[in-house]
Amino acid sequence: MNNPKNSVILLLTLILIFPLILLSCNGEGDEAQAELDEYIEEFKDTLTPFELEHGIGPITERIEIDDEIDPDLSDKGQSIFVMKCEVCHDLDERKLGPALGDVIEKRSPEYIMNFILNPGENILNHPVGLDLLAEYHIEMPFSDVDKEEARAVYEFLRDYYESR
Ligand code: HEC
């Protein structure tokens, strides 16, 4: 080991291996989760537990969702989606905004409705919204939809997700 060449080789090997070890211990998901936990810690005092989990807006309590999809409501939601959301959102691919085909897997119905009804506040004052803004760099505008329309869009997204 006294040979300086050996030390250099050892050092180089360590430099090469270290990032691999880091990567294997800390997948991207864990990193995102850690960041989110940090944000949530920050917002714990300003947002209610309901808002943290279900977004900020006019939906302030859990809503009842029937197990059965309502096809008429879903159709209504689809027309609204095509008219008001599709400019920025695709179901399966990222566009100006995130793909929404699997959003119901990640977020609660109340969160999705609050986001649609009150995007500004969720983007600027909620840890999840801030995280999204950091990634998409555009503030989703309010698309002039009411509660019933937001509920219909949720039904469409659920219908799409479940019939994939
Ligand atoms: C001008 C572009 C634009 C329009 C129009 C738009 N959005 Fe968005 N949306 C975004 C962007 C960008 C984001 C990511 C957050 C941000 O940066 O504002 C987003 C985020 C979202 C989220 C949160 C996704 C998540 O992972 O939490 C939902 C839900 C959503 N949009 C639904 C809709 C619906 C439904 C409509 C139509 C009524 C709509 N959006 C219209 C750009 C748009």
Predicted pLDDT of residue 26: 56
Q: Is residue 113 within 6 Å of ligand 1 at its C-beta?
A: no
**37: number of Cβ within 10 Å:** 11
Contact between 139 and 123 (Cβ < 8 Å): yes
Is residue 130 within 8 Å of 42, Cβ to Cβ?
no
> Is 89's C-beta closer than 6 angstroms to any atom of ligand 1?
yes
User: Can you give the pLDDT of all 164 residues of the chain as single tens digits?
Assistant: 567 788 888 777 777 777 666 665 556 678 877 876 777 778 878 999 999 999 999 999 999 999 999 999 999 999 999 999 999 999 999 999 999 999 999 999 999 999 999 999 999 999 999 999 999 999 999 999 999 999 999 999 999 999 98
Mutate to test the pocket of ligand 1, among 79, 85, 94, 103 (most ligand atoms within 8 A of CB): 85
CA-CA distance, 105 to 101, in Å (whole number)? 9
Which residues, in sequence order, are CB contacts of 47 under 8 Å at separation 6+? Answer: 56, 125, 126
Burial degree of 40 (CB within 10 A; 0-12, 13-18, 19+): middle
Please choose from 140, 143, 144, 154 the residue to mutate so as to test ligand 1's pocket, defined by most ligand atoms within 8 A of CB: 140
Query: 116 and 145 in contact (C-beta within 8 Å)?
Result: yes
Report in angstroms the alpha-carbon separations of 22 from 12, 29, 34, 76, 157. Answer: 16, 13, 15, 48, 37
